[in-house]
Chain A
């Protein structure tokens, strides 16, 4: 019934081989002073692999591909992050990887029952409101971070999975419509639009414009899904009007963007090589220096550039590991997202949810990779699973858990079969 593509044992062997190969490359070409640094890293990577494999055996599940791929990419990320500027185990990144794995399971168990999670929508709205209040009142001057000692949390990251959940909708919700002016619109869609405006407004206010396209992508997917729900009368005029409205909003945002954004939108990085274009110029030079196979783990220069392990991490990987390896890493993330096509969701709610998750990941990858390579304006967002940052890793882990839930859902009637409950049961 559920597809995994490759057998469990083969998947594990491939994962272990990929990590062993990377550690071998670090051994051969890496920049390390003591072999103990490398052994520590190898121990952490293979240890995490072992714990992940054993843990996955301890609970029953219908699909395992996504679990093992998440483990695979997180350990790849750990090797990358531990090698920037010289081989040394990044304890902080290891901790965030473990947290991401835990968040993944949390996301899975919370969202696998589509009826239950749908009924919690009002609480999710409340959670979003609370997170917005936290951003307004508890973050630093830049309105992005809450700092505890050497740790920082970015609350806006946690809004993303919540927002994906409120964007997901059931057919029942979409059928409940009210007349607004000349249009019949579902109440759920109206509330969603209001919340979206509030979130986008907040992001604009706190200058976190890098996250705007991610929220916009999730909202766009939700809108498309809502227009195409079963038996919906797709009004071509409405679709055209919405497209026009979207373009107008884009133009307005483009022209009304603050000065620092305008500079990024219009900067000729090579003409401003040591000014606004410095980061991207160095990043592109790093990619060129790395070529196909890289200069060796920890042998690059980009670790001297600001945000080398987050905003321009793709370029740092290209420099040290080569474009080939960076491309393979991107491919692994894409295959993770493609597993949704292998095991299609079984409910409309999960279908809309997975669309939102894929849109969120792709939007962030697009902004990070193409932005740092000067193909689109540079916004400074993290690369999912790879960039350093606990908030981002936790969110990514949680979203992967949701993606997994969409592939191996728990239906209420199955639960009832196993454990009959008293009281009325709604269909």
Chain B
């Protein structure tokens, strides 16, 4: 009988295992049913709204009604056609599905996504680019709410991709999330690395001379945008002047090693020399590139050039903006950006309420505070930056990035507003900058002044 009982125990064990697995299956099916339905060929989807209730996505939108209403967020919000996959709708169809496991499909359901975007201001920023292409992004560096995110050229999703062959290159990608050459905005990272390694006093004690060009230790020339030179400068002056010879000499400085620079860069999220996995930022399912560079020898041109944001250095505009949060908050910790403020279920119940999230510490609070001061000093002392938001200090760093083998130059501007009631960090990129046309600071002014008005 004992052996028969063992057989009974074996059967009991098998039945219990199966029941447990079946229970897990039921849980999983009910939990993921929304996702399954979002992949069905025909699903009733809800709307996407901005922070003021303006429609950003309507599954049954008609071009005759909306016109080009969605043009500024076409490649950000996207649609459910899966022509663009790295968009808010494509990545969150399950949240938009007017469906619940209990009720099934509901054509008049209340499923919706409420974003943190301000569509009216977003459109003004998009229009401010005029004939130029580029992108702009701004967010609250204390909470992470993205207010502005636009990329030009864009796509009018209401044309249902009938014009796909005639669309300008890059129309279906929101360039805020993709790598670009950062130009001199990279000097923010290099300054942080120097502060982290040498310390503030030691860095401030360094002064280097600029005569318009500097021949480095391996015999290569680093030219300055000011052909007549900036003379002898400290870090604050060189940062404001965006002086390449100064930063070349700073990189060569024996007070720190290449490993010191690499170490700080990696903490900031750079993938250096192709080692390790390329990290990414996640914005409600949208994947954004972070940063990468190649640094091999402090005394060589390419490494110095990389530390000034040229050559093989690539950063996404979103990452440039996120670093500003760590500087503006003076704590070295990134505030993680998000687009979805909250969602509603098919019954209209609020869920997925966003809460501020923060990254790990990238650099010390002291370094952050010093860079913050340097950037604010730069903003105060330059009239075009002071005009971004008159009466309020704005910390900025501009950059000019050589692209397409130096045949074109992109203009970049990244910074933050020093106002506890209006804590906004931003990044703007204008492709193929031409002197006399719209500038990044002018777009920043449109962005900040309209956001401030909307917030008032």
- By a beta-carbon cutoff of 8 Å, the part of chain A in contact with chain B is 171, 221, 224-225, 228-230, 270, 273, 281, 284-285, 287-292, 295, 323, 327, 330, 334, 337-338, 340-341, 344-348, 351-352, 354-355, 358-359, 362, 365-366, 369-370, 373, 375
A291→B102 contact, CB < 8 A? yes
Is B102's CB under 8 angstroms from A292's CB?
yes
Given contacts A221-B10, A348-B3, A375-B25, contact A284 B36 (CB under 8 A): yes
Give A292 to B19 CA distance when docked, in angstroms. 18
A229 CA to B3 CA in the complex, in Å?
6
Q: Are B11 and A366 in contact (CB under 8 A)?
A: no
Min distance, Cβ A142 to any Cβ of chain B, angstroms = 30
Asked if B105 CB lies within 8 Å of chain A CBs, one says yes
Q: Is the CB of B7 within 8 A of A352?
A: yes
- Residue pair B3, A362 in contact (C-beta under 8 Å): no
Given the complex of chains A and B, what is the CA–CA distance between A280 and B69 in angstroms?
Answer: 38
B7 touches A355 (CB 8 A): yes
The answer on a CB contact under 8 Å between A225 and B10 is: yes
Q: How far is the CA of A273 from the CA of B8 in the complex (A)?
A: 43
Secondary structure dominating the interface of A: helix
Q: What residues on B are CB-neighbors of A354 within 8 Å?
A: 7, 11
Contact in complex: A334, B37 (CB < 8 Å): no
Expressed in whole angstroms, the Cα–Cα distance for A295 and B10 within the complex equals 39
B97 CB, min distance to chain A CBs, angstroms: 9
B15 touches A270 (CB 8 A): no
Q: In the assembled complex, which residues on chain B have CB atoms less than 8 Å from the CB atom of A351?
A: 3-4, 7-8
Q: Does B387 lie at the interface of the complex (its beta carbon under 8 Å from any beta carbon of A)?
A: no
Interface mask (B100-122 → A, CB under 8 Å = 1, otherwise 0)? 11111100000000000000000
B164 within 8 A of A: no
Q: Are B26 and A323 in contact (CB under 8 A)?
A: yes
- A323-B29, A340-B8, A344-B4 are known contacts. Are A288 and B34 too (CB-CB below 8 A)? yes
Known contacts A327-B26, A373-B29, A362 near B14 by CB under 8 Å = yes
A224 to B99, CA, bound (A): 47
B18 at the interface (CB under 8 A from A): yes
CB distance from A287 to the nearest CB of B (A): 6
Query: Knowing A281-B39, A285-B36, A289-B40 touch, does A358 contact B11 (C-beta < 8 A)?
Result: yes
Q: Is the CB of A362 within 8 A of B39?
A: no
A-contacting residues, B16-43, CB 8 Å: 18-19, 21-22, 24-26, 28-30, 32-34, 36-37, 39-40
Partner of B36, one of A225, A228, A287: A287
Chain B positions within 8 Å of A365 at CB level: 18
Q: Contacts A344-B4, A345-B7, A359-B14 known; A369 to B22 CB distance under 8 Å?
A: yes
10 A-B pairs with C-beta separation under 8 A: A224-B10, A225-B6, A281-B36, A288-B37, A289-B37, A330-B22, A340-B8, A351-B7, A362-B14, A373-B29
The contact of A287 among B3, B33, B105, by CB within 8 Å, is B33
> Is B2 close to A, CB under 8 A?
yes
Contacts of B215 in A (CB 8 A): none
Q: Which 8 A-B pairs have the closest CB atoms?
A: A288-B36, A288-B33, A351-B7, A351-B4, A284-B36, A288-B37, A291-B104, A285-B40
* Distance (whole angstroms) from the CB of B240 to the closest CB of chain A: 49
Kindly report which residue of chain B lies nearest to residue A282, judged by CB atoms: B40
Among B18, B30, B104, contact of A289 (Cβ-Cβ < 8 Å): B104
B8 touches A228 (CB 8 A): no
Q: How many A-B residue pairs have CB under 8 A?
A: 106
Q: Let me know if B12 is at the binding interface, CB within 8 A.
A: yes
Note all chain B residues with C-beta closer than 8 A to A334.
15, 18-19
Verify A288–B8 contact, CB threshold 8 A.
no
Instruction: List, in ascending order, chain A residues with CB within 8 A of B7's CB.
Output: 225, 345, 351-352, 354-355
- Identify which of residues 417-451 in chain B touch chain A, using a CB-to-CB cut-off of 8 Å: none
Contact in complex: A341, B10 (CB < 8 Å): no
Which residues on the B side are within 8 Å of A340 (C-beta)?
8, 11
Q: Is the CB of B22 within 8 A of A230?
A: no
Inter-chain contact B8/A358, CB cutoff 8 Å? no
8 Å CB contact of B39 from A285, A290, A323, A355:
A285
Residue of A229, A338, A344 with most chain B CB atoms under a 10 A cut-off: A344
Docked Cα-Cα span, A320 to B105, in Å, equals: 14
Q: How far is the CA of A291 from the CA of B34 in the complex (A)?
A: 10
What are the residues of chain B within 8 A of A330 when measuring CB–CB? 22
On chain A, the residues within 8 Å of B26 by CB distance are 323, 327
Q: How far is the CA of A46 from the CA of B321 in the complex (A)?
A: 72
Query: When A270-B39, A340-B8, A355-B11 are in contact, do A375 and B28 touch as well, CB less than 8 Å?
Result: yes
Bound-state CA distance A327–B29 (Å) is: 12
- Contacting A370 at CB < 8 Å: which of B25, B32, B34, B102? B25
Given contacts A225-B7, A273-B39, A351-B3, 18 further A-B contacts (CB under 8 A): A228-B6, A285-B39, A288-B33, A289-B37, A289-B40, A291-B33, A292-B102, A323-B26, A327-B26, A337-B15, A340-B8, A341-B8, A351-B4, A351-B7, A351-B8, A355-B11, A373-B25, A375-B21
Name B25-73 residues within 8 Å CB distance of A. Answer: 25-26, 28-30, 32-34, 36-37, 39-40
Q: How far is the CA of A347 from the CA of B1 in the complex (A)?
A: 8
Look across to chain B and name the residue whose beta carbon is closest to the beta carbon of A227.
B6
Among A230, A270, A285, A359, find the residue whose CB has the most chain B CB atoms closer than 10 A: A285
Closest B residue by C-beta to A340? B11
Chain A residues within an 8 Å CB radius of B103: 291
Cα–Cα, bound, A284→B8 (Å): 35
| Cβ A341 vs Cβ B39 within 8 A | no
- Which of B6, B7, B15, B102 has its CB near the most chain A CB atoms (within 10 A)? B7
B residues less than 8 Å from A375 (CB atoms): 21, 24-25, 28
- The contact of B99 among A229, A270, A288, A295, by CB within 8 Å, is A288
Residues of the B chain whose Cβ atoms lie less than 8 Å from the Cβ of A288: 29, 33-34, 36-37, 40, 99, 101
Name the A residues within 8 Å of B10 (CB-CB).
221, 224-225, 355
The answer to whether A358 and B2 touch (CB under 8 A), given A225-B7, A291-B33, is no
Q: How far is the CA of A171 from the CA of B3 in the complex (A)?
A: 10
Which residues does chain B contribute within 8 Å of A337, judged by CB atoms? 11, 15
Query: Bound state CA distance, A281 and B32, in angstroms?
Result: 12
Quote the shortest CB–CB distance from B98 to chain A (angstroms): 13
Q: CA A85 – CA B387 in complex, angstroms?
A: 69
Within the complex, what minimum Cβ distance (angstroms) separates B131 from chain A? 39
**0/1 string, B74-104, CB within 8 A of A gives 1:** 0000000000000000000000000111111
Q: How far is the CB of A29 from chain B (nearest CB, A)?
A: 13
Instruction: Say how far A250's CB is from chain B's closest CB, in angstroms.
Output: 17
- Residue in A287, A295, A373 with the greatest tally of chain B CB atoms within 10 Å: A287
Bound-complex Cα distance A348 to B25 (A): 35
Closest chain B residue to A347 by CB distance?
B4
CA distance A171 to B22 in the complex (A): 35
- Taking the closest CB of chain B, its distance from the CB of A284, in whole angstroms, is 4
Q: Given A284-B36, A285-B40, A288-B99, are A358 and B15 also a contact pair (CB < 8 Å)?
A: yes
A362 touches B18 (CB 8 A): yes
Q: Closest CB of chain B to A170's CB: distance in Å?
A: 11
Which A residues touch B36, using CB under 8 A?
281, 284-285, 287-288
Docked Cα-Cα span, A290 to B18, in Å, equals 23
Task: Tell me the bound Cα distance from A327 to B30 in angstroms.
Answer: 13
- B408 vs chain A, min Cβ distance (A): 36
Cα-based distance from A120 to B21 in the complex (angstroms): 38
Known contacts A285-B36, A291-B101, A373-B29; A338/B3 CB under 8 A? no
Report how far A418 CA is from B185 CA in the complex, Å: 101
The smallest C-beta distance from A101 to any residue of chain B, in angstroms, reads 24
Q: B29–A366 contact, CB under 8 A?
A: no
Residues in A whose Cβ lies below 8 Å from that of B4: 344-348, 351
A172 vs chain B, min Cβ distance (A): 13
Give the CA-CA distance A314 to B99 in the complex, in Å: 21
> How far is it, in angstroms, between the C-alpha of A289 and the C-alpha of B22 when the chains are bound?
19
The residue of chain A having its C-beta at the shortest distance from the C-beta of B33 within the complex is A288
Nearest neighbor of B18 in chain A, beta-carbon distance: A362
Bound complex: CA of A256 vs CA of B333, how far in Å? 49
**Cα of A224 to Cα of B102 in the assembled complex, Å:** 43
